[in-house]
A and B are shown apart, each in its own frame.
Chain A
Amino acid sequence: MKEIPEYEKDLASIRLMMERSVKFVSLSGLSGVLAGIYALVGATLAYWLMYYPKPPFGFEFNDAPQSVTIFYLIVLAGTVLAASLLTGYALSLQKAKKLSVSIWSKASQQLLIDLAIPLVAGGLLIIILMWRGYFGIVAPASLIFYGLALAHASRNTYKEVQYLGFFEIALGLLCALLPGYGLLFWAIGFGVLHIVYGILMHYRYDQ
Chain B
Amino acid sequence: MKNPFDNLDKSLEHRVRLQIMSVLVTNDSYDFNSLKELMGVTDGNLATHMKALEKEKYISVTKTFTDRKPNTKYKATERGRTSFRKHLEAMEEILKQQKK
Interface residues, chain A, with chain B CB atoms under 8 Å away: 1-2, 4, 7-11, 13-15, 17-18, 20-22, 100-102, 105-106
The number of residues on chain B lying at the interface, defined by a beta carbon within 8 Å of a beta carbon of chain A, is: 22
Instruction: Give the distance to chain A from B64, nearest Cβ to Cβ, in Å.
Output: 16
Residues of A within 8 A of B15 (CB): 9-10, 13
Cα–Cα distance between A207 and B86 once the two chains are bound (Å): 37
Residues of A within 8 A of B95 (CB): 4, 7-8, 11
Cα–Cα distance between A34 and B27 once the two chains are bound (Å): 33
Residue of A nearest to B26 (CB): A18
| 9 contacting pairs across A/B (C-beta < 8 A) | A1-B5, A10-B91, A11-B88, A17-B22, A18-B22, A18-B23, A21-B38, A22-B26, A101-B38
Cα–Cα distance between A2 and B13 once the two chains are bound (Å): 9
Residue of A nearest to B95 (CB): A7
Residues of B within 8 A of A105 (CB): 34, 37-38
Cα–Cα distance between A17 and B15 once the two chains are bound (Å): 11
Residue of A nearest to B91 (CB): A7
Contact A4 B94 (CB under 8 A): yes
Contact A10 B18 (CB under 8 A): yes
Contact B19 A14 (CB under 8 A): yes
Instruction: Give the distance to chain B from A50, nearest Cβ to Cβ, in Å.
Output: 47
Question: Which of A11, A100, A102 is close to B91, meaning CB atoms less than 8 Å apart?
Answer: A11
Contact A106 B91 (CB under 8 A): no
B52 within 8 A of A: no
